[in-house]
């Protein structure tokens, strides 16, 4: 009966869900500062309703933009008129989304009939939360589930805590899925949690780490947004809080931290995907994280996992000035990326946020670094734009497996370099 309700829910959702039929994702390889300026003008054209997956920031980096089918001709004419070269990365976004949804449905039925959980599939929020309960029950001496507060729409926010005892021991923080449409992030979190519990007791290095440190994992940092990506709008990125005087809802939770808040790389316009919010920590989801981290007071590393672009970054984002520990952070990140690449040869770039992508204020790892958590890092997982946010589910386990090698290196380094 439960399965029937799930299918009925899917049918109901399909009727109200935003369609991306005919929308294309276009890649622009910027060749000059002049072209960059022209793309900034394009970005500010609200009437075209463009969704920049990778923003125009430098001549070194590609620009990816989802163009609604209604404005395709106008946008392509604009680019051609200014001799700006572009290629079509995704010809019809809805086709990819239909494939993704069909796979979700098939996997749900398979999991139901086999009473198992497939780590190589994407899941809805309630399935992830239900898996957490099973997982905690399977590892009662290692894992506990902490309710760190409610989201704007009153959903619980759950942290998985891995601990072998003690109170407020040196700890590792990891959050995933703060931008809700980056599904490979949440899926990597689920796989990683299972990997930690499975390897404890058999992997000597991880076991020694957990005998002296705790690991805290917030697998779905933006639960309201994540639900929206499954029910109404697959491309939703922000929270769901109401913005006074505007119909558009939501704040970019990774522009809402008290670190250069409201500066460059964040928008003051509530309808923007990078809207910073009315004030620092205005978003309850951000506040819940801040409260836990500050009340604990002994976190030694802070890792935030996003997608896409294949980058490992450290502070700062709100300024291009080097962080005091830049040389050490760079060396840790480069060694971590070397480990990651050893599995499948996946290539990652390393650098500070401001220098590797763009100046972006109000970001989580700048805040964590500024409150004294020296080893603060942000990952941008696979891929480099072929699928972007719609990474096929068959890449979840390869992505999580290679990322684990980098995460493990960072955690071991932090264990061996107390401060």
Catalytic residue IDs = 380
Sheet holding 299-307, edge to edge: 143-150, 156-162, 214-218, 171-176, 299-307, 375-381, 311-314, 349-352
What is the distance between the alpha carbons of residues 182 and 171, in angstroms, rounded to a whole number? 25
DSSP-derived 3-state class of residue 205 = helix
Q: What is the full DSSP assignment across 16-69?
A: HSPP-TT-EEEEE---SHHHHHHHHHHHH-GGG--EEEE----TTS-EEEEE-G
Phi-psi category of 229—alpha, beta or left, where left has phi over 0 and alpha has psi -120 to 50?
A: alpha
Pairing of β 171-176 and β 214-218: parallel
What is the distance between the alpha carbons of residues 242 and 248, in angstroms, rounded to a whole number? 7
Determine the straight-line distance between the first and last CA of the chain, rounded to whole angstroms.
55
What is the distance between the alpha carbons of residues 116 and 124, in angstroms, rounded to a whole number? 15
The residues pairing with 187 across neighbouring beta strands, listed in sequence order, are none
DSSP-derived 3-state class of residue 175 = strand
Contact 313, 368 (CB under 8 A): no
185-205 b/e with 16+ CB inside 10 Å = b? bbbbbbbbbbbbbebbeeeee
Residue corresponding to tokens 């971590």: 336
Residue ranges with strand state E in 142-298: 143-150, 156-162, 171-176, 214-218
Nearest to 135 by CA among 214, 173, 189, 205: 189
- Within the chain, how many helices (H) and strands (E) appear? 13, 12
What is the distance between the alpha carbons of residues 10 and 20, in angstroms, rounded to a whole number? 17
Read off φ and ψ for residue 398, nearest 5 degrees.
-60, -40
């Amino acid at each position: 009966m439960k399965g029937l309700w799930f299918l009925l829910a899917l049918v109901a959702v399909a009727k109200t869900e935003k369609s991306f039929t005919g929308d294309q994702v276009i890649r622009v390889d910027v060749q000059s500062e002049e072209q960059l300026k022209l793309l900034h003008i394009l970005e500010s054209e609200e009437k075209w309703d463009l969704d920049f997956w990778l923003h125009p920031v430098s001549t070194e980096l590609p620009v990816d933009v989802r163009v609604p089918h209604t404005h395709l001709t106008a946008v392509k004419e604009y680019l051609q008129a200014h001799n700006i070269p572009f290629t079509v990365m995704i010809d019809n976004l809805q086709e990819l989304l239909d494939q993704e949804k069909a796979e979700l449905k098939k996997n749900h039925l398979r999991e139901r009939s086999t009473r198992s959980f497939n780590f190589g599939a994407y899941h809805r929020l309630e399935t992830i939360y239900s898996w957490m309960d099973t997982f905690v029950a399977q590892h009662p001496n290692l894992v506990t589930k902490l309710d760190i507060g409610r989201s704007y729409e009153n959903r619980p926010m759950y942290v998985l805590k891995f601990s072998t005892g003690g109170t407020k021991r040196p700890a590792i923080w990891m959050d995933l899925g703060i931008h809700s449409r980056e599904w490979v992030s949440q899926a990597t979190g689920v796989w990683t949690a299972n990997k930690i519990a499975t390897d404890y007791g058999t992997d000597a290095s991880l076991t020694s780490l957990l005998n002296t440190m705790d690991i805290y994992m917030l697998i779905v940092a933006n639960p309201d947004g994540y639900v929206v990506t499954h029910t109404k709008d697959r491309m939703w990125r922000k929270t769901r809080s109401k913005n006074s005087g505007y119909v558009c809802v939501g704040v970019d939770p990774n522009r809402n931290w008290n670190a250069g808040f409201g500066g460059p790389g964040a928008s003051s316009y509530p309808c923007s995907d990078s809207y910073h919010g009315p004030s620092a920590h205005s978003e309850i989801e951000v506040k819940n994280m801040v409260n836990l981290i500050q009340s604990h007071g002994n976190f030694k590393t802070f890792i935030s996992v996003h997608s896409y672009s294949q980058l490992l970054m450290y502070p700062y984002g709100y300024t291009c000035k080097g962080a005091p520990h830049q040389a050490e952070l760079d060396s840790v990140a480069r060694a971590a990326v070397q480990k990651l690449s050893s599995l499948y040869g996946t290539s990652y770039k390393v650098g500070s946020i401001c220098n590797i992508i763009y100046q972006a204020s109000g970001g989580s790892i700048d805040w964590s670094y500024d409150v004294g958590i020296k080893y603060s890092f942000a990952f941008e997982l696979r891929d480099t734009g072929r699928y972007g946010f719609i990474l096929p589910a068959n890449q979840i386990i390869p992505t999580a497996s290679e990322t684990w090698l980098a995460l493990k290196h960072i955690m071991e380094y932090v264990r061996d370099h107390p401060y």
